[in-house]
Every structure is written in structure tokens, then in C-alpha cells.
Structure 1
Amino acid sequence: MTRASRSGLRGLAAAGAVLCLTAGPQRAATAGPADTPAGYAFAADARRIDGAADAADAEPLKTGATYRSSLPRDGTLYYRLDLDAVSTAYVSVTAVPRPGGEVTAADGIRVFLRDADGASCDSGTANFGAARSPRPVTAWGEREVSPGATRCQDAGAYYLVVQRSRPQDSPPDAWDLELATASEPGLARTAARNTPGTWDSATPGPPAGTPVRRRGGDGFAKAAPVGEGAWRDDIRPGQTLFYKVPLDWGRRVYATAELAAGEEGGGYATAALQLALHNPVRGRVDSAAAGYSGRRTAADLGPVPPVAYDNRYAVAGRVSAMRFAGSYYLVVHLAGQVADDFGDGPFGLTLRVRLLGTAGAGPGYAGEPVPRGLFSVAGRDREAAAGPGEGGSGDPAMTAVAVGGIGTGSLLLAGLGVWTAVARRRGA
């Protein structure tokens, strides 16, 4: 073998080593500690902002951006939104209390949207419920621009107000906050204000098939994509897992969460397993809870209507919230009290998702939402949510690893072929 040939082989080996070292940590980074529940994962691009004690000092929130803040036990926080007169604005606030603390059923957060004169445009609440288990809770509000409306329709300064629901019963620690803002454009053509159409409200059967492993995310920004099918995971007491489901206009989702039987202990935990559905602006659509006695149990969401623009005019919140297409979120929480009677787990979790209805066209917006693409479903979203039988890999993280591995192997084989050809020519 010539010196040039040996040099080429050493170079190829070195390149292969670099590629393997580069791919290794990426794969390892997908795993976390196996013995402790993960905390809430805030959006990587979330900006730090301080809430003000009054409206005059409130800092502005940019539409389409995500923020991190902090809510003390006592006091009210103000943030400013500068809105136009043609777009409907949405804001969600996720409060993240420290794990292991004591909370009451009625404790949580309240949010208000007010105009420059202090008049209320909308309000929302979220509390911890009967399980009294600290977990991320999300409340949302809107400033809707609507034909014929007279309140909160002008362009100018508006204010988001955030406070705890029961400060007198709340833990003394400050809660972290994640604030997300969005806007929805008006319609290209003025449409009549129609009541929602009729839909089949019968409970559909769960999807059949072997559950596919898919690890849930630790926050809205890290939600794992899932589509129709059965998905399995592990969950520990006090942990909250996030998944997202792509929903086109005209389609609807039905979901159940099943907790496997425990291997130790006995007793009963009230509302131990909780399942909630949130829309693309993180507004809660519906929620369900089930107690746990150590035997298999399930929390079933009630049927919701197909995604339709006119749903916003419904009186029922679970119908009104199904007002646009996009990524809907399934949020699963296992109460921390489960550990008292049944151990630290982990416990087997099965999420069953059923998608119904026929995809249709949107309402005809006059512009783009902010963030762009928020109220639509891209092809990559459907691909990421698919299971093995639908053209997907079953696990987005393993898809990336597989692609990386295939790419690395192909590059090494291609390099070996080039080196062999060069060596043969030089030998001749």
C-alpha cells in the first residue's frame, strides 16, 4: 500500500471517529435521569420580564413571543399589550409551582385582559383541583375583534393582569410563569355570526393496536407529537407530560389516558390521574380526572366538536375553544400523593388518541396569524405525529438518531469507495 493510500485511510478513519463522536452525545442527550420526575421545560427562546405592580409601569409583551416571569404569593402583576383594531389577541399564562409543596383545591391563578380605562375584556382561571397536587396550570384570555361589538375594539394599550386565586391559602414561594401571546387575523370577507353546527357527540371507541413507545415532553414547547393510535410512556407521581396532536379544520379528537396497576401498597388517591386538552393558543378545552386504588384506571375526555371557526360563538367553553386548526395539546398529570400509598413508580401510562371527521378548508383569513402557521397543520407535523404503521418511526428522538446513523454510515461508505478508487488508480 502506498503512503498516499495509507494517508487516505487514516484520514477516513479520523473523519469516521469525528462523526461518531459528534453523533454520540446527541443520542445521549435525549435521555434524562430515570429516578426523578423532570421539571417544567420553558420555551428555549422565552424572554425574561418582570410584572409591574400597576398598569402605569407595565412592560410590553410582543405579539407572538413567549416570556418567563415570576408571581409572588401576594400582589397583582401587570403586563402591557399594544393591539391593533383588526386582529383578535390571545394570551396564556402557565403557572409552575415548586413540586412537593402544599396547595388547596381552589388555589391556582386568575388572569384578566383590560383596556386602557380598566374595563374588562375577558378573564380566565385555572386551579389545582381535588387532587391538591402542585403542577403547571394554564389560564387564558382574549381580546376579540367582532362585528357589532362595542367594548375592547379600539387599537391601543391593553393590560394583562395576573394574580393567585387564593393567596391566603397559597404556598409562600414564588411561582414561575410562562406567558405566550398570539394574534388571529380577521376574515377576508365579512361573515355572518353563525351558531356552531350540529355534530355527533357519541363517545367513539378507542383505537386498537399495540401501544407505541413515545416519551412525553415536559412543557408546551417540548410537547411530543402524537396522532391516532395508542402510545405508551412512564410517569411518576408529581410529573406532568405534554403531547401535541395536529388537527385540521373539520377534524376532532378524542383521547383517554390509562394508568397501569401498581406493584405495591394500597389505599386510594383522589383525582390522581388527570388529562386535559388545550387548543393551539394553550386555552383549555376540556379536562378529566380519575381516582387511583392501585388497579388500572382511566381518565376519559368527553367528545368535543370538530374544529370550526363558528365554534367561538358557542356558550359552552369546551365548544368555543375548538375554534381553529393547529396543534392541540394533551396534558397528563399524576398526583404527587400517589407516592404516599403506592410508591414512587414509575407507573405505566397508555394514551389512546382517536381522530375523527374530514379535513376541510379554513375560514379564509385576511392575513397571517402571529406566530406564522399557528392555525394550520403542516406536512411535517403530520409526519412527526404518525406511528410506525403510518409512515413514522414511533419516536421522534429515535427518528433523528436513525437518520443521523444512516447519514453517518452512508458518508463512511461513500468515503471508502472514493478512497478505494483513488488507491487503485495510483497503484496502476
Structure 2
Amino acid sequence: MGVLLALVALPGRAAADGTTAPGPSGSAAPALWQPRGTPLAGAATTADAPAMRPAVTYQDSIKVGESRFYGVTLDDRASAAVSVFAVPPAGTRVSYGDGLELTLQSPDGDQCDSAEAHFGDDGDPRPVGTAVSRLITGDSSDACQDANEYTLEVHRTSAGTSDPGPWPLELRYVAEPGLTEGAPAPSAPATSADGGATGTASPTPLLVGTPHQAAGGPSFETAAAVRTGIWKDRVLPGETRFYKVPVDWGQQATVFADFSNAQVVDASAYVPGGVRLSAYSPVRELIDGEDKSYQGAPASLGEQLAPVAYGNRAADDDDVAAARYAGWYYFAVTVHPGVAQAVSGAVPVTLRVQVTGTAQPPPAYDGDPSAAGIGVDAHDLASADGTADGGSGTDSGALRFLAFAALGAGTVLLLTLAVWFALARRRPAASADTVTAPPQQPGYGPPGGW
């Protein structure tokens, strides 16, 4: 019973990665991403690169100017993506061009894909990263189509004035099943004159709807699930909060982040890149990012993704090509640490989320793509309620989630029974051999009782 009461007393919003994020009213310290996963030490050469396994999250660290290598075994049917994110410690001094450069290559040095992610401003040590892919094209003359041991290279760039300390890394490798033998690959959607996917008009924010509370998490794993609607949160200076939106095949996501005015404490404080909105694909590939200066006056940023289609992978536009999977699309909202010099407390943020278009049938996959985070189902839509775990968002829902996660269903059952009988003993017995149990409180226990 003491353990159960301790769970009730846990303050704040418990995140799956071990952090305690501030609630809607904010708190003194920003919620920070704590890299998680199986430890995996990257090698200094391709010969010693440790093997990664699909659907597994790994953690490592990287020093200034260092390159680390990891092995990725691929067959000749499944496409694959490997994401890498660096999470510099709070207060780390970083510069505009600091970041990560990723390269996926074959044993004979053919480059399958490369990508880079940099901070893009000074003094903002937010999570930074992206993903690289090996895509099966169906053309045997293309590079990187064979079954082989491929190598991921992760290189850290850093200015001489930046902190030289190591950055924690979180890496994840996912595999997209190939198509069923003989099934034609879905064709690429029609493109407009500028090379983008058709149906992508100038974005406009969603203006109608009752606002709901969201509780963005500090990482992909703790991202708050949201759907079409208006969502409110508060983001502290030095904090990045993640939100995820279910987008099915044929659908298109548009997200605006409206940063409200805040109490100004120094009108002369100018913070370029003070607020930021970034968009990521289901495999954590950076699609696009936008930032604006912020001095306490309202500011708005928007991202509109291309309609999701399997054939987008053949697009020349990288932003369109990234929208090649149905699944959770992630949006990260960042407030620069320097904003703390301009305003007091957290910055109120309103997310205007809109998913349009009719869901289309999935490609004819030869296997289940869900392990790679590909696809949308009814549960995803139902769970998009502004919380990380898809619960009710109430205290009782949080308690139930914590109890099951920390103790397991069997232990919770025993604790519940102990509390039940303890309360029952305090009541007058209905008869000498009968104990009357108290009625179950709403929100505790699974539907229908234990």
C-alpha cells in the first residue's frame, strides 16, 4: 500500500524516458531528453563497426571532430532507415554550424544516402539529428541494392569556440518490408510545376475548434499524440517539446505553432532563432524546420507536409520524398534558452493541427511494417488525446499508467486487493461471515473492474 501511495504522490508528468516534464503551469527547469536504449560503442573504422538490429534503439556518445561507425546488415528486399540524434547537455555552448553529418555506404564505398543536421543558430543546445536511408528501387543497376553489410558513419562538426565535451547519442534502425512478389510499386503522385506534390496549396492555420490541453514530451518516445484540432501547451526557454500526428496514406498534415506574448523583463534582449518549429517523418528524418526571433511579442510558424504516398520516394524534392510513409509525423517546438533574458517564465504555445485527405489503402507489403512505425490504425487515431501514452489525461489515468509500468499488473492487483480489504475492515460487517467491499472508484482499474 505504501508503494501505491508513493505513486499517487509522484509530482509532475512522468515521461517514459525517465524525465519529469513540467505540467501546463510550467516549472523552474526545462524537461530534457534523456537518451535511452542499448549501449553500443561505435568503432573508429568500418572494419570494427558493431552491428545494429532493426527495431532496436541504441545509445552512444561522440566527441568533437570524431567519426563513429556502425554496421547495418541489409537484404535485397527491405528498405531501411537509420536515425541519429545528439542531445547536448543543458547549458552546453554550441554554434551555428555545430551538428551531425550522417553517411550510409556499401562495403565498396558507394554512398547510399547522406544527410546533415546543424543547430542553425548560436547557443541553442536542443536535440539535433536526422536519418539516412537505403531504398530498394527495383533497378539492379542502382547503388546499394544488394544484400550486404553496410556502414553508417556519424561525424560531429563543431566550432572552435563550442564546448568540447561529448554529446550523448540516440540511434535507431528500422526496416520497411519489401513489396509482395509481383506487386507493382505504387506510382509517384503527380507533381506541380515547381516539382512539389500536387494538392499542396499555401498553408493556412486551423481557426475553428475548442482548444484542448496537450503535454508535449522532451523526446520522440514521449511525444504527445495529437490529431486535427487546436492544442495548447507551455514551453520554457531551453526546452524542446515533441508532438506526433497520425497521418495515413493519401493524407496531408499542416501544423502551425503560435507563440503567444509573454511577460517581458528586458525589451532590449534580441534572440534570433528564439522560437522554432521542426517536422520529422515516422523514421525520424528531418523534413523541414523554421525559426523566428522572439522578444515576447506573438510569433507564428507553420509547416505543411506533402500528401503521404509510397511513390514520393522517387521525388526530386527532399521534403516530398520524406513523406513516403504513413504513420506518426513528429513536430518539435523549441524555445531558445536566450529567451529567458527577454521574458519571464514559459511561453504559451497554440498548435493548430489539421490532417486533410481521404485515407488510401496501404501498399502491398510482404510483411508487417508496424515494427518500423509505418501505418496508421484506429488505435492511433483514438489515442491522439494530447498525452504521451494515449491515456485520459486525468490523474487517475496517469496513476493507472504509472502503476502498470512500474509494478506490473500482478503487483497492482495485489496492492489493490490489500487496499480494498483494509478499507473493508473499517466498516461494520454485514454478517459474521460476510465482508462488504467498498464501491470501486471511477478511473481506477481496467474497464469492468479487475
* TM-score of the aligned structures, taking structure 1 as reference length: 0.85
Change (3 A) 1:422 1:192: same
Q: Which residue of 1 aligns with 2:8?
A: 24
Once residues 336 and 315 of structure 1 are traced to their aligned partners in structure 2, the CA distance between those partners, rounded to angstroms, is: 36
Q: Percent identity?
A: 33
Deviation (angstroms), 1:292: 0.9
Query: Aligned partners of 2:239, 2:434: CA distance in 1, in Å?
Result: 63
* Aligned-partner residue type, residue 399 of structure 1: G
2:258 equivalent to 1:258: yes
* Partner SS, residue 431 of structure 2: helix
For the 8 Å contact 1:48–1:67, the answer to whether it is kept is yes
The change in CA–CA distance for 1:167 and 1:81 in structure 2 (over 3 A counts) is: farther
Judge which range, 21-30 or 281-290, deviates more.
21-30
Which of 52, 58, 67 is the aligned partner of 1:67? Answer: 58
Equivalent pairs, count:
401
Specify the SS of the correspondent of 1:382.
Answer: helix
Equivalent position to 1:269, from 268, 271, 285? 271
Normalized per residue, the structure richer in helix is: 1
If you compute each CA radius of gyration, which structure gives the higher value, 1 or 2? Answer: 1
Distance of aligned partners of 1:24 and 1:323 in 2 relative to their CA distance in 1, 3 Å threshold: same
Match of 2:212 in 1: 212
Amino acid at match of 1:328: Y
1:5-404 aligned at under 5 Å gives the runs: 21=5, 24-25=8-9, 30=14, 32=21, 34-43=27-36, 46-130=37-121, 132-150=123-141, 151-166=143-158, 168=160, 170-188=162-180, 189-192=182-185, 194-197=187-190, 198-264=198-264, 265-267=266-268, 268-301=270-303, 303-343=304-344, 345-369=345-369, 372=371, 374-386=373-385, 395=393, 399-401=397-399
8 Å Cα contact 1:193-1:310 kept in structure 2: yes
Q: Provide the secondary structure at the position in 1 that maps to 2:342.
A: helix
Question: Is the alpha carbon distance of 1:422 and 1:95 closer, same or farther for their aligned partners in structure 2, counting shifts above 3 Å?
Answer: same
Q: Which digits, 9 at most, give the CA deviation of each residue in 1:258-298, with x for residues without a partner?
A: 22212122132112111111111001122221211221111
- Aligned letter for 1:423? S
**Aligned Cα root-mean-square deviation (Å):** 3.1
CA contact (8 A) 2:229 2:354 kept: yes
Give a deviation string over 1:301-329, Cα, whole Å, max 9, x none: 1x222211011111111111110111111
Cα–Cα, structure 1 residues 121 and 396, in superposed 2: closer, same or farther, change >3 Å? farther
Query: By how many angstroms is 1:168 displaced?
Result: 4.4
SS, match of residue 221 in structure 2: helix
Counterpart amino acid of residue 39 in structure 1: L
Q: CA deviation at 1:366?
A: 1.0
The alignment partner of 2:30 has SS state of coil
Q: Which runs of 5+ in 2 are unaligned?
A: 15-19, 191-197, 404-412, 436-450
- Local SS of the residue matching 2:293: strand
**Residues 347, 57 of structure 1: alpha-carbon distance in 2 compared, 3 angstrom cutoff:** same
The Cα of 1:171 is off from its aligned counterpart by: 2.6
Unaligned runs of 5+ in 1: 1-16
Tell me how far apart the structure 2 counterparts of residues 62 and 351 of structure 1 sit (CA, whole Å). Answer: 35
* SS of residue paired to 1:220: coil
**Alignment deviations for residues 184-242 of structure 1 (CA, whole Å, 9 cap, x no partner):** 11111442573323224232331423422221111111111111111111211111111
Contact 2:214 2:386 in 1 (8 A): no
Structure 1 residue matching 2:311: 3-state secondary structure: helix
Residues 194 and 360 of structure 1: is their aligned pair in 2 closer, same or farther, counting only changes over 3 Å?
closer
In structure 2, how many angstroms separate the alpha carbons of the residues matched to 1:50 and 1:426? 62
Q: Quick one: distance in 2 between partners of 1:131 and 1:206?
A: 32
